[in-house]
Structure 1
Amino acid sequence: MSFTFRPALIAGMAFALAGTLLSTASAIAQEKVLRIGMTAADIPRTHGQPDQGFEGNRFTGIPMYDALVHWDLSKADAASVIMPGLALSWEVDATDRNKWTFKLRPGVKFHDGSAFNAAAVVWNVQKVLDQAAPHFDQSQVGVTVSRMPNLASARVIDDLTVELITKAPDSFLPINLTNLFMASPAHWQKLLADVPASVADPKARAAAAWVAFAATPSGTGPFRGVRLVPRERFEMVANKGYWDPARTPKVDRVVLLPLPEANARTAALLAGQVDWIEAPAPDAVAQITSRGFKMYTNAQPHVWPWQFSFREGSPWLDRRVRHAANLCINRDELKTLLNGLMEVPRGTYPPGHPWWGNPTFEIKYDLAAARRLMTEAGFSAQRPLSVKVLTSASGSGQMQPIVMNEWLQQALKECFFNVDLEVAEWNSVFNNWREGAGSPGSRGANATNVTYAAMDPFFGMLRFVTRQTNPPASNNWGFFNSDEFDQLAAKARSTFDNAGRDAALAALHKRIVEEAPFLWVAHDVGPRAISAKVTGVVQPRSWFIDIAPMDIAR
């Protein structure tokens, strides 16, 4: 099996895209403009809680908005860790572990000129948690609450101090808060006042104000949104008054273009119509680099899996079948197919990681052992096991999903699996991740192919294996439930010293690998091809990347 890189087709794609970009090029010719080809099929939401997976956080979240806590994306040779963002410091109450105090950064302004303060934090918590709040927005709940399920409420202590309250002790809260972006309450109120009086229903008025907010976003980030054309383009300009001098933008404008097809992205780059593409066509890498573009990759905690269903009747209920699938595939062969643009996994975390835990089940290629397990489970070449996986043709972190799933389809035949692929639009697949395996959105699939960042323990482990995170609360899509895993997760979450928490997480990862609720296929390396004119690029060991420090040589 091989990728198909068709020069004639790519040339045609480049010609078609040229017309789209020509008007912008003439209008902003004197500016430093960074043009990015995303894998998403649409512009991620711009109102402060992006969709389109973490590609949305990367391109319409982090550039325009700040959170109380940030990821440090300034290093390529060390793992990304959390750091102060709009909060200068935070601490959990020594006597009540459900209460956290956050000290806020003074002097920060939203893009509309209004002040960021503790009241703004409370307002942003209410937008996704308080259904009685006039600005509550159901459309923002799924992509936010599923990533911080224990946050319950917030209250003002003083203008620069806010208290956050959790439902249960949660040592992961500061990490989870990297996903709660701060939007301007004053700007939203102004837009609400502009909603026509003919829209009388309060919920409808609030929804209309959020639609208007998405068209004219106001955060505190290094870039400010100025033009949104759904499914076509989004433009941001530099916020020269940004509070952090190290992240005050050097480029004048960023243009985001949804280009979900790998060949189309590659064509646009080679034709000089974009400066940066995510996930280029792997077999075009040699041509890309020979034309002077730079390839950036880095090992990162990002997993490309199948997640199995544990609902009644699922073929994955038998652990022998789950182990067999993990032993059946030659990941080194897949890495060759992808031109080296992946890492071979041994679990969600690699040996040597503090959360590794030394599982007794080894994820590796062992065809004989895989066939033996399938035979024990009652399957053979004459009596294969039929499974169905839901996937997408593109999307955030999906790498090359069609080619990779077709490769898996062929590889698993060697172990008596008949794999049926169900391809849907990326955002639909992503939304079904929270709806669950039993919902109509799963289209009868008993496995789903949604990639995930594992930078922190909640995203990497807890949300898949606890009853608390069953749909629609979070991403336990397959309803993997057990008292043992609930207890392991609770111990990790309620342990506040680093060494103890690492030990608890290692015990949890050990059992996850041994029970194998996933088919671990690859770790992404975040490949992106960028023009040599773009300087200041740091490819961190993270799913995210920071645009703000980048520049363009004229």
Structure 2
Amino acid sequence: MSKFNSFAIKTRQIKTCLAFAFTAAACVLAARPALAESTLRIAMTAADIPTATGLPNNGFEGIRFMGYPIFEGLVLWDLTKTDQLATLRPGLAEKWEQAPGDTRTWIFHLRKGVKFHDGSDFNADAVIWNLDRYFKNDSPQFEAAASGMSRARVPLMGSYKKIDDATVAITTTTPASYFPYMAVYLLFTSPTSFEKAGKDWGKVATLPAAGTGPFRISRVVPRERVELLRNDDYWDAAKKAKVDKVVLMPVPEANARLAALRSGQVDWIEVPPPDGLASLKSAGFTITTGSYPHVWPWFYNIGAANSPFKDVRVRQALNYCVDREGLVGLLSGTAEPSVGWLKASDPNFGSPANRYKFDPAKGKAMLAEAGFTPQKPLSFKVQISSSGSGQMLPMPMNEFMQQNLKEACGVNVEFDVVEWTVLLTAARLTPDNPNLKGAMGLNISSPSSDAGVMARYFAAANFSPNGFNFEQWKDDVFEDALKTLAESTDPKVIADATRKAHERLVDNPPWLYIVHDLNPRAMTTNVKGFVSPQSWFLDMTLVSMQ
């Protein structure tokens, strides 16, 4: 038995869960009717299909498959390149700029002639209607779940207004040079969808809802599948989809996804199990990997009343206790060591004083300085998931971490295993919330794509429950650097400030940095045109089936 499998089946609980997941997935896949040649079938890591109202849950995997292909934003990602971080491109707005003399206000010039899938017009009224859906609690169309995600991803939203049918203005609470990188997460659903569903968002999800994207939802079967059809009337003729149909299926267990691919039940699986990669390659399947802005950490709960992580020495010590190379080996090279929020090769990594490596002696010495010795070991609980978007293979990876920290530095870690959406919700809880069950850490994979994400996760203004700063971490040098890059329009000033901010994320770490994912996927050779961009997202219009 491989080292990977020995971790994956370590406990009876895990075995039971895996068996159940495999059986459920097999039942779903066995019931699948025959599909046309131009149909692409994808097994996701999600335990359920992402919500289909226009702003999907299930993290960025939800947006990857049930967001951008169907529902678009004013700003979109350019996902056509592999040699650089994904940049922004015009979406439902043809262009945007800061208002003259007002660095807090952005003017978006909307694309004319765009239709939602239901034939209704996309215009400024539809933009305002959707923004009210996210940010105006007393609006008839207010959607609580979508609002929570939007407010966390766009914490700087202030006011907004229609200037004319093709122009809207959005004002942020503070200047933010990176605001377009936040606007990319605000997706737009047809107001007519809400009316047709009797003004009930629960029913909107099963209509199905209408967006403006290159695919439209044709069928939703909860916990089983979503079927997407090509939108032949898509506004960008150059970006029309090449496949007729996409079928998305939730298959949370890695070995179940592997079996589905090998048996021909699907054409593409997310996150194949590492110990299956060699056999997949020898059988002729395509394995894709690629660097992208992703970090797999543990979030420290610094703000809890009795948290051991209030002491920076403890936070630094654990970063010296992790055998990252060993974990990369467990993953068959589908990850790389993480020693900061950004990769060490990133030009914005900076020159921090700490260059973390596997150094148990140093880690134990720092723990001892903080009062944790073999007689009084550091012990804490981490909340983890059994699967989920970007979570890689959380059960065996966390079991490796548990054993590694115990053997290397005498640290005792226990886990509270929860469903992925529960874990995502936990990131917005206050440090001593009873729903955390005393957890002093969260294992949530996270993007590291741009300064807007940096602000969302680490700015003091975004302490939970208002934003994603679950740790309630505050560093004055970081705050000053973030303010500088937010207020500047000079690329050099922004880059210098970003490096300074990142140095503080390393030297005063809010996270235990573990690995960066290399985004593995496995596909049949019939899948053509796939591009693995340096992004969490994908351009599904590039893919064809042959």
Give the structure-2-normalised TM-score: 0.94
Which of 427, 431, 438 is 2:432 aligned to?
438
Question: Is the CA contact 2:299–2:443 (under 8 Å) kept in the aligned structure 1?
Answer: yes
**Alignment partners' CA distance in 2, 1:291 and 1:12:** 27
Question: Is the CA contact 2:161–2:168 (under 8 Å) kept in the aligned structure 1?
Answer: yes
> Over residues 348-376 of structure 1, what are the superposed CA-to-partner deviations in whole Å (9 max), with x where a residue is unaligned?
11345342121111121112211211222
Which residue number in structure 2 is paired with residue 246 of structure 1?
A: 238
TM-aligned CA deviation for residue 12 of structure 1: 11
TM-aligned CA deviation for residue 278 of structure 1: 0.7
> Over residues 135-194 of structure 1, what are the superposed CA-to-partner deviations in whole Å (9 max), with x where a residue is unaligned?
1111211111101111123211122111111111111210101110111113322333xx
Determine whether 1:505 maps to 2:513: no
Question: Is the CA contact 1:69–1:82 (under 8 Å) kept in the aligned structure 2?
Answer: yes
Question: Is the CA contact 1:324–1:415 (under 8 Å) kept in the aligned structure 2?
Answer: no
Which residue number in structure 1 is paired with residue 94 of structure 2?
A: 88
Q: 1:289 to 1:11 in 2, by over 3 A?
A: farther
Which residue number in structure 2 is paired with residue 199 of structure 1?
A: none
Question: Is the CA contact 2:50–2:62 (under 8 Å) kept in the aligned structure 1?
Answer: yes
Q: 1:367 to 1:452 in 2, by over 3 A?
A: same
**Alignment partners' CA distance in 2, 1:281 and 1:431:** 27
Which of 478, 482, 501 is 1:489 aligned to?
482
Which residue number in structure 2 is paired with residue 464 of structure 1?
A: 457
Which of 364, 383, 386 is 1:390 aligned to?
383
**Alignment partners' CA distance in 2, 1:412 and 1:491:** 38
Which residue number in structure 1 is paired with residue 411 of structure 2?
A: 417
Which of 467, 470, 473 is 2:466 aligned to?
473
Which residue number in structure 2 is paired with residue 176 of structure 1?
A: 182
Structure 1 residues 118-517: aligned runs within 5 Å: 118-192=124-198, 206=199, 208-311=200-303, 312-413=305-406, 414-459=408-453, 461-517=454-510
> Over residues 204-252 of structure 1, what are the superposed CA-to-partner deviations in whole Å (9 max), with x where a residue is unaligned?
xx4x245324541100001111111111111111101111223211111
Which residue number in structure 2 is paired with residue 536 of structure 1?
A: 529
AA matched with 2:33: A
**Alignment partners' CA distance in 1, 2:367 and 2:391:** 28
Q: 1:138 to 1:13 in 2, by over 3 A?
A: closer
Determine whether 1:4 maps to 2:38: no
TM-aligned CA deviation for residue 445 of structure 1: 0.4
Secondary structure of 1:78 counterpart? coil
**Alignment partners' CA distance in 1, 2:334 and 2:37:** 34
**Alignment partners' CA distance in 2, 1:14 and 1:519:** 32
Which range moves more in the overlay, 57-66 or 362-371?
362-371
AA matched with 1:298: G
**Alignment partners' CA distance in 2, 1:169 and 1:54:** 26
Which residue number in structure 2 is paired with residue 48 of structure 1?
A: 54
AA matched with 2:277: V
Secondary structure of 2:160 counterpart? strand
Unaligned runs of 5+ in 2: 9-15
How many residue pairs get aligned? The number is 536
> Over residues 249-288 of structure 1, what are the superposed CA-to-partner deviations in whole Å (9 max), with x where a residue is unaligned?
1111111111111111111111111111111111000111
Which residue number in structure 1 is paired with residue 67 of structure 2?
A: 61
> Over residues 508-529 of structure 1, what are the superposed CA-to-partner deviations in whole Å (9 max), with x where a residue is unaligned?
1111110011110000111110
Which residue number in structure 1 is paired with residue 11 of structure 2?
A: none
Which range moves more in the overlay, 531-540 or 308-317?
308-317
**Alignment partners' CA distance in 1, 2:464 and 2:101:** 32
**Alignment partners' CA distance in 2, 1:230 and 1:75:** 34
> Over residues 383-415 of structure 1, what are the superposed CA-to-partner deviations in whole Å (9 max), with x where a residue is unaligned?
211011110010011111111111111111121
Q: 1:67 to 1:481 in 2, by over 3 A?
A: same
TM-aligned CA deviation for residue 465 of structure 1: 2.6
**Alignment partners' CA distance in 2, 1:103 and 1:257:** 37
**Alignment partners' CA distance in 1, 2:362 and 2:22:** 48
> Over residues 71-129 of structure 1, what are the superposed CA-to-partner deviations in whole Å (9 max), with x where a residue is unaligned?
11101222211111111111001311121111111111100001111111111111100
Secondary structure of 1:37 counterpart? strand
> Over residues 286-311 of structure 1, what are the superposed CA-to-partner deviations in whole Å (9 max), with x where a residue is unaligned?
11112211111101110000110112
Q: 1:326 to 1:12 in 2, by over 3 A?
A: closer
Which residue number in structure 2 is paired with residue 77 of structure 1?
A: 83
Question: Is the CA contact 1:299–1:343 (under 8 Å) kept in the aligned structure 2?
Answer: no
Secondary structure of 1:98 counterpart? strand
**Alignment partners' CA distance in 2, 1:320 and 1:25:** 57
TM-aligned CA deviation for residue 24 of structure 1: 4.0
Secondary structure of 1:227 counterpart? strand
Determine whether 1:25 maps to 2:33: yes
AA matched with 1:348: W
Question: Is the CA contact 2:285–2:522 (under 8 Å) kept in the aligned structure 1?
Answer: yes
Question: Is the CA contact 1:266–1:280 (under 8 Å) kept in the aligned structure 2?
Answer: yes
TM-aligned CA deviation for residue 428 of structure 1: 0.1
Secondary structure of 1:434 counterpart? coil
Provide runs of 4+ in structure 1 moved above 6 Å: 9-16
**Alignment partners' CA distance in 1, 2:77 and 2:507:** 31
Question: Is the CA contact 1:150–1:167 (under 8 Å) kept in the aligned structure 2?
Answer: yes
**Alignment partners' CA distance in 1, 2:36 and 2:107:** 46
TM-aligned CA deviation for residue 422 of structure 1: 1.1
Percent sequence identity is 41
Q: 1:129 to 1:384 in 2, by over 3 A?
A: same
**CA RMSD, aligned part only?**
2.1
TM-aligned CA deviation for residue 23 of structure 1: 5.0
Secondary structure of 1:4 counterpart? helix
Secondary structure of 2:374 counterpart? coil
**Alignment partners' CA distance in 1, 2:19 and 2:263:** 8
**Alignment partners' CA distance in 1, 2:239 and 2:131:** 25
**Alignment partners' CA distance in 2, 1:512 and 1:360:** 11
Question: Is the CA contact 2:143–2:201 (under 8 Å) kept in the aligned structure 1?
Answer: no
Unaligned runs of 5+ in 1: 193-205
AA matched with 1:68: L
Give the structure-1-normalised TM-score: 0.93
AA matched with 2:281: T
AA matched with 1:170: A
